[in-house]
Amino acid sequence: MGGETLLKATRDKNGQLLVAEVQGKVVGVIHQLFFYDLLNGGMNSYIGMLVVEEHHRNQGIGSRLVESAIEAARQRRVVEVRLDGLKDKEDAIRFYRKHGFHSEETVNFFRGP
């Protein structure tokens, strides 16, 4: 992911990009999009990316980023925060459950334009 892509993300009024720094170096990033959901009649957010550099993991950085994103969602009166995860990523599943997320059995469909 290049700097131009990150710059575009910071300019998107429907999105939020939070970074974690250690000694002036970015070591973690979370990206969240906000949208109105007709099915639940309120604002939702979607966490599309959470990345923490490998040698900075298990230090609470990811947790602080997730909690900051959730607080930002609360401030926007979001009724549901969503994210996607891979079924075989047990560490990620435990991490998100620790932060109050639960999973649903769904089928995802993808297609290009």
Average pLDDT, the chain: 88
Please give the pLDDT value at position 104. 80
Q: Give the CA distances from residue 8 to residues 5, 11, 13, 58, 84, in Å, rounded to whole numbers and listed in that order.
A: 5, 5, 10, 29, 22
- Superfamily for the 30-98 domain: Gcn5-related N-acetyltransferase (GNAT) (3.40.630.30)
Nearest to 93 by CA among 44, 67, 101: 101
Residue 7 is predicted with a pLDDT of: 63
Does the structure show a pLDDT above 60 at 1? no
pLDDT top residue among 74 and 110: 74
Tens-place pLDDT, residues 34-73: 999 998 889 999 999 999 999 999 999 999 999 999 999 9
Query: Would the pLDDT of 2 be above 70?
Result: no
Question: Which position has the token pair 């040698």?
Answer: 55
Structural domain boundaries in the chain: 30-98
